[in-house]
Amino acid sequence: MTRHHILHRTVYRYREPVQFGLHRLVLRPREGHNVTVLRHVLTIVPKARLFWLSDLFGNNIAFAEITEPSDRLEINNDAVIERVNLDMAPERMSRSSVIELPVAYPQVELPVVQGYMAAVYPDEQTVVGEWLAALNGGQGNLTALEMVEHVGRSIYKLIRYRRREEPGVQSPLVTLSLGTGSCRDLAVLMIEACRFLGIAARFASGYLDTAASAAGRGAMHAWVDVYLPDSGWTGFDPTLGEAVSRKHIALGVSAHPRGVMPVSGIFTGPAGAYQGMEVTVTVREVEAG
């Protein structure tokens, strides 16, 4: 077993008190057969009333109702998770996907799978297809999973990572033209490539356990999950050029990158009231007990 303690603080500052609208928070770690949330405390200043729900993608979503005007909005996410190290367990039932391209999804899954194969940027599918054609020359007959890994590693090698503070994601055309992108930009490019190939893919957002995050200098991270009938959802991180591992901690997944923004909401105030935001993320491995 491995335990991680997560501290994620977000502060928005305003020139004078503003009125806040409803805020949507995707901040509770996702649980599963190998992840359990042992503690989760979400605190907001000024005080907020929280309403929880599970969305279409199985994410735990909190809606924050903030009635008090303020010149500062602080959101603190404090969680402890425990995960089973399946990759280290001798009893693990390990299998590699043998699904070939084109992927034949079971009829019963098609209504859901199709939502994960629709392009986020349909007008740029030609660009994505041309990039893939150049990328896949001489690769031979790869399985679907091998192709996913090839695409992810190619993005890692060809597109330089650049941390961006601006909201939103770059389209594949912009990322390919610039040759740079943030983790979320690289994830979107990989998703569009997988979907062009007929492989169901989703956007995953969360944290990464690194030396920087352990020192309190971490940031939000994004990667890609692909769905194959014989292996379920499998993650790959094009920013690192490797498969998702126990250092990846998911908060939310969605068919569209906008679906897992950690904090989204509105405020009402005078023009120019918003002065900026500060985010600190700390992820540390801790002793059980």
Between CA 155 and CA 238 the distance in angstroms is 6
Set out the domains of the chain in order of their start, with CATH numbers. 2-85+262-286 (2.60.40.2250), 95-245 (3.10.620.30)
The neighbour count for residue 24, using CB atoms within 10 Å, is 15
Q: Is the pLDDT of residue 88 over 50?
A: no
For β-strands 180-181 and 242-243, DSSP reports them as unpaired
CA distances from 163 to 106, 181, 182, 183, 184 (A): 39, 7, 5, 8, 10
Q: Tens digit of pLDDT for each residue in 2-30?
A: 899 999 999 999 999 999 999 999 999 99
The pLDDT mean for the chain works out to: 93
Q: What is the pLDDT of residue 94?
A: 47
- The residue-averaged pLDDT of 87-96 equals 48
Q: Tens digit of pLDDT for each residue in 150-207?
A: 999 999 999 999 988 787 899 999 999 999 999 999 999 999 999 999 999 999 999 9
Least confidently predicted of 71-80, 82-91, 113-122: 82-91
Q: Is 46 exposed, middle or buried (0-12, 13-18, 19+ CB in 10 A)?
A: middle
Q: What is the pLDDT of residue 167?
A: 78
Q: Is the pLDDT of residue 96 over 70?
A: yes
Q: What is the pLDDT of residue 140?
A: 65
pLDDT band for position 136 (cuts 50, 70, 90): confident
Q: Tens digit of pLDDT for each residue in 215-253?
A: 788 899 999 999 999 999 999 999 999 999 989 999 999
Angle at 61 between CA 234 and CA 253, to 5 degrees: 20
Q: Is the pLDDT of residue 85 over 80?
A: no
> 286 Cβ partners below 8 Å, 6+ apart?
3, 4, 5, 80
Place of tokens 């603190």: 76
pLDDT band for position 90 (cuts 50, 70, 90): very low
User: For 127-214, where are the E strands, in sequence order?
Assistant: 160-161, 180-181, 200-208
Between CA 269 and CA 17 the distance in angstroms is 8
Q: Tens digit of pLDDT for each residue in 193-216?
A: 999 999 999 999 999 998 888 878
Q: What percent of the chain has pLDDT over 70?
A: 94
Closest CA to 263 of 224, 205, 181: 205
